[in-house]
Amino acid sequence: MKKTVLVAGGGGFLGSHLCDRLIEDGNYVICADNFYTGSKDNIVHLMSNQRFEFIRHDITWPLYVEVDEIYNLACPASPIHYQHDPIQTTKTSVLGAINLLGLAKRLRVPILQASTSEIYGDPLVHPQVEEYWGNVNSIGLRSCYDEGKRCAETLFFDYHRQLGVPIKVVRIFNTYGPRMQIDDGRVVSNFVVQALRGHDITVYGDGSQTRSFCYVSDMVDAFVRMMATDGAVTGPINLGNPGEFTILELASMVVKMTRSKSKIVHKPLPKDDPIKRKPDISKARKILSWAPKVELEKGLLATIAYFRQILKTR
């Protein structure tokens, strides 16, 4: 039975790919976005589809629609964007969660929260497991995002325990792919754009810090699988690729794959930037029967091709 699904933040990088997948599966999709970091370009190909509807809306205000499922992906996710207006970032996470949970409560429908690996802060446990409470600075420059997402998780579980709202909470680790913003400051887009432009590749610190990179199609598949679980499955569940690479390894790979003459230069490490980041996805494997399929090199090829095309118009 096909459903009507609300995707808050559906004009963003991840959200637009989720809209694609839901439409492909035969569902009706209502995409809500205020384009703070999203883009019309990400969803323009869906505008003529009769099963797709777009609403320009900021989820810090209530939204009244009739749907069968809700995905909450609405929040700026890159440091450059969420630090630009930190108060609004916190409002988006907290007030947005309250408004969408209220909608889910009224409609009695499941709601999925796109949480984040930033919940774990600069982790002292490696790899990170869902039971780890994190090592987070609550008053730092990144706190608007980290603490906003942590508070949103609190709200989700309290709405579930107190009011019976069916919730799904996933913690997203670094995800990349086409439709990332060219200036979002994330490591994959930064390196690819710098390499294609022939600029220096900026590595912060000595480059020994690690990240795990999950291709966007794998992440979207995990979202759909999580939403399809029975009501007893609430999460939180880590979603990401357990393959671990140093930042320097990623930079070297991008330079090689783009055949760029860019040089790698080092700059000071930003405050509170995590040294290690790698998900333990044991729960995702067991509960969702899910694991990433796209290898980093293959995903980078698609991402490089996307940015190469975008840069032709700039």
Least Cα distance to 314 among 216, 191, 181 occurs for 181
74 dihedral zone (left: phi>0; alpha: psi -120 to 50; beta): beta
What b/e string do you get for 197-208 counting C-beta neighbours within 10 Å, with b at 16 or more?
A: eeeebebeeebe
Residue 241 carries which DSSP code?
Answer: -
Whose tokens are 């009769």? That residue is 50
Residue 265 forms beta bridges with which residues? 202
Q: Which residues pair with 202 in a beta bridge?
A: 265
Tracing tokens 């794998």 back to the chain, one arrives at 218
Cα separation, 138 vs 151, in Å, equals 11
Burial 225-255 (b: 16+ CB within 10 A, else e): bbbeeeeebbbbbbbbbbebbbbbebbbebb
Distance separating alpha carbons of residues 263 and 201, to the nearest angstrom? 6
Per residue, the 3-state secondary structure of 133-197, as one string, reads CCECCCCCCCHHHHHHHHHHHHHHHHHHHHHCCCEEEEEECCEECCCCCCCCCCHHHHHHHHHHH
So which residues are the catalytic ones?
145
274 cis-preceded (ω within 30 degrees of 0): no
Q: Is the dihedral of CA 55, 114, 3, 221 positive or negative?
A: positive
Angle at 68 between CA 58 and CA 53, to 5 degrees: 50
Burial class (CB in 10 A: 0-12, 13-18, 19+), 313: exposed
